[in-house]
Structure formats: C-alpha cells, structure tokens
C-alpha cells in the first residue's frame, strides 16, 4: 500500500465527512443528516430531494448509481481528529459504517454527474433500499457503499432469515419427567443447530449457515396454569442455499404438537461475478491508486442483497474503512483512506458512464 503521506488531501471530502459524522443519525433519526446531504448537493447545483421514506435522492446520469446508508447504530463517540499510524483519522459513530462511504460517494457523484441515493434504515430493516427498488427502475450499474477497505471490492453477502419460536406446556411440579416448554424450545434449537453443522470444519464461514438465538424468554404464564417459551432466532444464509431451503430444514425439526415458528424477515444471499464491467472498472481504478485489488465476501448482510434480489444489473459494494470497526466503540476512519476512496470512485465512475 502506498504511503499515506503521498496521498493528496481531499479537503471537500474531509469536510463533508466531518459534518456528517458530527450530525447524529441513529436509525429512525436520520432527518438532520439527510438535510446536510441535501445542502451539499444543492451547493453543487444538483437536483436533489427527499422521498417518502426520507431517502436523499440526487438523480443524474443513471448509467451508474452510487448509494450508501445515512443511519448508524446508536452510540456516542466524541468526534475528533487524532493522529494514527497512517496519519490523521476521524473518530465518531458512523465514520466507518457508513458515513465514510457515504461522503466519498456524494463527492464522487457531484464530480462525475452520476446518480446518488442516501438511504435510511439499513441498520434495522433496510426500509430505504426496499422503497427504492419498488419506486424506480434498475440503473445501468450500481455501487453500494459499505466499508471494504480502499483496495477491497465486495462481491458477496450472506442472506438472512429470522423468526420467533413459540411453545406452551401444562404447568407441573419440576420433579415430573416430561419436558416443559423451555426444554422443548431448547431441544428444537439443538436439533436445528446440529442440522447445520458443517461437514468439513475447514469450510469458510461464508459458505456455512450460521444459526444464532438472539432472545429467549421462558417461565410460568401469568395465570400459573402453563409454562411458556419464546425464542427469537436468526440464520445467515450462504449463496449455496436459498432462504426457503434453510426455513424448510428448521421447520422439519419442529414437533407441531409442541411448538411453532412465526417467520419474519428474510433477505436473499448474493454473489456477484468478478467479471462484470463494474468489477473490472474498480480493479483498474484501485490499481491506479497504487493498490492491489482484493475481492471480498462478507459473512453479514447489506442493502446490496436487496438490490440484487430485485434489479438485474451489475453491482459491487465499495467504501473506505476497516469493517472490524463497524459498531465498535473505537470507530474511526483514516482520512487518507477517504481521499483514496474518492479517487477510486471517481475513476471507476468515469469508466462506466
């Protein structure tokens, strides 16, 4: 990687990033940060507006759409610039996930004349991305903004399936041998986890189904006549399987006389080809910055899953930042990485329009 001191500081991008990070925007409270983005585009004489759900939309050359999310997870990290190993870094909630990518894309969009959308709600239900795919046609190509590192091109994300298991049993003395609802819930979950154990322990996490309980409540009912158990569960789904196949496995381990599952959110996995024109444009643009491109697969889920599920166009995810700092108490972005990311985005966009 080239020395940070050799990268020319992008004052406009750095100022926008600091303003966005200094404007808190936890999910559901994005309005002030969205207004700052609108002002940035208006200052560059770009058409821009807020749509029905609060997305910031700046339509232009639709050969390419740059999009990232405005919302962050909760957490107060004092915003400041501190010197680090690779030069000055901006600390603050959202500096990595995903206001670094958001700021880089906004600057690249005004410099190249491509379309831009800042979406809301990504950290909870992706309501901004879901509204977008319902409200407009697919662009020629799409770049989703999430931290991949300035040299990383993210091509794949696992999908997600979530639901709530419910069980009820008659109350009885704890000396009785029969299972109660709590034991039934635990038994079902253990059977499901066993079904998804990898055959080869060396299989990459990206290729596995990851099953996690996320909340459990159990005990006597209010009237004391039964025992109840409620368990929220989530599955990360690799591209080698469908969400429906994972659900069938989990349902297949149910005893319908004991418990049921109310299935809720589901998002398909996605794995994009490294040979599309947008992936090629990013490889070239990254090399122009003196970096070696990396092709990345993420074990989580992002808005790109939503776009890939509805739009038939080439896409990648790209953005500055170390994803290990997502949601972390020490979240920070080296400003030289922001500078490089703007240069990469601007170069790649120029090759695609």
Q: Please identify every residue annotated as catalytic.
A: 71, 122
Residue 86 · residue 134 · CB < 8 Å: no
In the three-class reduction of DSSP (H, G, I as helix; E, B as strand; rest coil), residue 219 is classed as strand
Structure tokens at 282: 């990013």
- Of the candidates 17, 277, 270, 288, which has an alpha carbon nearest to the alpha carbon of residue 147? 17
Strand partners, 152: 294
Measure the CA–CA gap between 128 and 119, rounded to whole angstroms: 5
Neighbours of 150 (CB within 10 A): 26
Q: What is the strand order of the sheet 159-170 is part of?
A: 210-220, 226-237, 159-170, 259-267
Name the percent of the chain in helix, strand, coil, to the closest 5: 35, 30, 40
Measure the CA–CA gap between 353 and 309, rounded to whole angstroms: 24
Residue 184 sits at the vertex; the CA angle it makes with 178 and 189, to the nearest 5 degrees, is 150
Structure tokens at 161: 């399936």
């Amino acid at each position: 990687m080239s020395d940070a001191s050799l990268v020319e500081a992008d004052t406009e991008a750095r100022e926008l990033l600091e303003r966005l990070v200094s404007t808190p925007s936890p999910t559901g409270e994005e309005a002030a940060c969205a207004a700052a983005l609108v002002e940035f585009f208006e200052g560059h004489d770009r058409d821009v507006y807020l749509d029905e759900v609060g997305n910031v939309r700046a339509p232009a050359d639709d050969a390419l759409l740059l999009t990232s999310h405005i919302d962050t997870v909760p957490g107060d990290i004092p915003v400041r610039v501190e010197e680090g190993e690779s030069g000055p870094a901006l600390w603050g909630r959202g500096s990595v996930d995903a206001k670094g990518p958001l700021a880089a894309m906004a600057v690249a969009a005004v410099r190249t004349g491509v379309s831009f959308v800042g979406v809301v709600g990504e950290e909870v239900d992706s309501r901004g991305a879901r509204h977008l795919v319902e409200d407009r046609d697919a662009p020629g190509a799409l770049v989703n903004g999430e931290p991949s590192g300035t040299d990383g091109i993210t091509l794949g994300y696992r999908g997600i399936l979530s639901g709530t298991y419910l069980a009820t049993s008659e109350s009885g003395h704890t000396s009785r041998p029969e299972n109660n609802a709590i034991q039934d819930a635990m038994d079902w979950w253990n059977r499901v986890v066993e079904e998804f154990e990898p055959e080869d322990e060396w299989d990459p996490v990206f290729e596995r189904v990851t099953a996690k309980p996320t909340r459990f409540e159990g005990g006597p009912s209010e009237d004391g006549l039964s025992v109840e158990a409620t368990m929220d569960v989530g599955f990360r789904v690799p591209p080698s399987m469908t969400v429906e196949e994972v659900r069938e496995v989990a349902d297949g381990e149910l005893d319908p006389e004991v418990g049921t599952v109310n299935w809720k959110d589901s998002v398909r996995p996605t794995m994009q080809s490294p040979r599309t024109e947008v992936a090629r444009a990013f490889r070239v643009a990254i090399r122009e910055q003196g970096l070696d491109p990396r092709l990345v697969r993420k074990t989580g889920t992002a808005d790109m899953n939503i776009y890939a599920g509805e739009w038939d166009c080439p896409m990648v995810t790209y953005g500055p930042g170390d994803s290990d700092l997502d949601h972390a108490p020490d979240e920070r972005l080296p400003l030289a990485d922001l500078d490089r990311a703007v240069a990469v985005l601007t170069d790649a966009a120029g090759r695609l329009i």
